[in-house]
Structure 1
Amino acid sequence: MWQIAHRPRWIAALILALVIAGSFAALGQWQLSRSLEGGEITEQQSETVVPLESVATPQEPLASVTTGQTVALTAEFVPGDYVVLAERRNTAGLGYWVVGHGREPSGASIAIALGWAESRDAAASAIAQLEASPPSSTITGRLLPTESPQQSDFEAGTRSALAVSELVNLWPNVDAGIYGGYVVSFDTPAGLEAIDSPPPSTEVSLNLLNVFYAVEWIVFAGFAVFLWYRLVRDVWEAEREEQQPDAAVD
């Protein structure tokens, strides 16, 4: 059988089978690498402060790789546009967020979560202080994507989600566009507590579907070599039968 395998025809077929098997193996390795799904940005990347405009654009949704990125921006807070969000969880429990309307020199708007308060009265008191003495225009914080409005947001006097689509209707002047996310400020004004905003998770999880595809490609690679072997063996068996006359024939 190996004499048949050394014929030029079958050597060429073996080379072709190995090329096909190598391609399938490469596809299997690619699927296996995709099966390990981790954070698309590392903690080192997310904690490196970058300008907001370098990772986000007004009127555009945030890219997934920018979620949790630490950014810096310059923006003036628009008086009268502070918003209180209820049922916001922090390290001390449920409470209220105070959100400001930041406006960049370009005119673009950005929602900035300034801090957490235990009660609505405390949040209102903090807003009164912010109106009297606006916070610094230089802001550093964590960039997060917009949230979806909750059912409670449509009830009178309640609002719990930081939804950019809703803020557009609340803020009278966003003609220059608004970012599709918000910034949790690291600097907390007086009367408020810092909002807990940890770095994005970088834990790795296993995608079993991609593992299954990887195993499939490996099986295909082995089958390509086996098919070559099976064809060579078939030729060998056929030639052997031709060389050995049938004992039943006189």
Structure 2
Amino acid sequence: MYRFLLTPRWWVINLFVLLSVPVCLFMGSWQLSRFEDRVDSHQARQERSAEGAAEALAKPLDDLLPLTQETVGQPARATGRYDTGHEFLVPGRRLGDRDGFYVLTPLRTGEGRALPVVRGWLPGEADPARVPPPPGGEVTVTGVLQAPESRSSPGVHAGALPSGRLGIISAATLVNMVPYEVYDAWITVQRVREPMEAVPPVAPAGTGLDLKAFQNLGYTAQWFVFAGFVLFMWYRLFRRETETVRDRALGIGVEEVPTPSPDGTPTTPTTPAPSGDSSAR
């Protein structure tokens, strides 16, 4: 009954199933592993945030550079002097449900380069008169390492800001505003001077439990559904073919083709009478 499985048509169908199901399962497992990696990364980042920028856990800045997804969010420390002559306010920054601005002061290190340090956040419009001065002399600053930004806050046009204002925290922006080299990273201090408030660290793009992470979880379900759909369609085709072969074996649904006579005219096929019919004797 199952000899139809050896026909060329079914060889193609079976080969397709044997190839597509493992591929679907592999892709689903891969998407699931991507989601699990993001969960682990998010948990590790939360643990580091809970530990804060403790001096005992902070590493020298140069040990964490160049930036990677593993080093972003880690406590870092740097020693130098604050450049009060080039302090910047970063407007359009929200903390919770309040609008305000960051206070960014470059820290000149012993290597000659400067590290952008966000010393804190203040509510309201950016006003340098409200900003407390940074400590003088040589200081060791500890904060959470952050990646350079690629865009400014919504509603803030970086090119239209007045002097002393900054739209994007990055070396590419600061290099045109200060007369020295700038690290392509910045830190946010967690111990701030009142009335400023600490700026919480921001996870880099592509990490944490964001929308993209749950997209990976959705893709996982889709690939597994695809594998199940392929098996379901194979079963339906197999069942229909089996029923067709069985019906043919029983003579059900088989159309009789007229047999041509010697002169070429079709003759009406006759159905043999049952053996118990007296008229057939």
Q: TM-score, normalised by structure 1?
A: 0.64
1:109-120 aligned at under 5 Å gives the runs 109-117=114-122, 119-120=127-128
Task: Find the residue that maps to 2:28 and give its secondary structure.
Answer: helix
1:143 aligned to 2:143?
no
Q: 1:193 aligns with which of 193, 196, 219?
A: 196
1:217-250 Cα distance to aligned partner (Å, 9 max, x none): 4323332444445555555556666xx8949734
The change in CA–CA distance for 1:27 and 1:92 in structure 2 (over 3 A counts) is closer
1:89 aligned to 2:121?
no
CA distance in 2, matches of 1:245, 1:92: 78
Contact 2:21/2:227 (CA < 8 Å) preserved in 1?
no
Contact 1:147/1:161 (CA < 8 Å) preserved in 2?
no
1:73 aligned to 2:77?
yes
Contact 1:70/1:142 (CA < 8 Å) preserved in 2?
yes
Amino acid paired to 1:141: V
Task: Find the residue that maps to 2:175 and give its secondary structure.
Answer: helix
The change in CA–CA distance for 1:105 and 1:228 in structure 2 (over 3 A counts) is farther
The change in CA–CA distance for 1:231 and 1:145 in structure 2 (over 3 A counts) is farther
Contact 1:88/1:95 (CA < 8 Å) preserved in 2?
yes
1:95-114 aligned at under 5 Å gives the runs 95-103=100-108, 109-114=114-119
Please state how far the C-alpha of 1:139 moved relative to its aligned partner. 1.6
The change in CA–CA distance for 1:229 and 1:144 in structure 2 (over 3 A counts) is same
1:122-181 Cα distance to aligned partner (Å, 9 max, x none): 21xx23x43xx147324232524415243265243462523313211112111xx631x4
Please state how far the C-alpha of 1:73 moved relative to its aligned partner. 2.9
Q: 1:171 aligns with which of 165, 175, 178?
A: 178
1:35-46 aligned at under 5 Å gives the runs 41-46=41-46
Task: Find the residue that maps to 1:76 and give its secondary structure.
Answer: strand
Q: TM-score, normalised by structure 2?
A: 0.59
Amino acid paired to 1:42: H
Number of corresponding residues: 231
The change in CA–CA distance for 1:100 and 1:91 in structure 2 (over 3 A counts) is same
Tell me how large the CA RMSD over aligned residues is: 4.5
Task: Give 1:183's aligned residue.
Answer: 187
Contact 1:32/1:214 (CA < 8 Å) preserved in 2?
no
Contact 1:21/1:224 (CA < 8 Å) preserved in 2?
no
Flag the structure with larger Rg.
2
1:249 aligned to 2:269?
yes
1:22 aligned to 2:21?
yes
Please state how far the C-alpha of 1:114 moved relative to its aligned partner. 0.9
1:153-168 aligned at under 5 Å gives the runs 153-157=159-163, 159-164=165-170, 165-168=172-175
The change in CA–CA distance for 1:17 and 1:105 in structure 2 (over 3 A counts) is same
Relative contact order, CA 8 A, sep 6+: which one is greater?
Answer: 1
CA distance in 1, matches of 2:247, 2:63: 69
CA distance in 1, matches of 2:228, 2:23: 6
The change in CA–CA distance for 1:240 and 1:105 in structure 2 (over 3 A counts) is farther
The change in CA–CA distance for 1:104 and 1:141 in structure 2 (over 3 A counts) is same
Amino acid paired to 1:167: L
The change in CA–CA distance for 1:35 and 1:115 in structure 2 (over 3 A counts) is closer
Matched residues, percent identical?
13
Contact 1:66/1:143 (CA < 8 Å) preserved in 2?
no
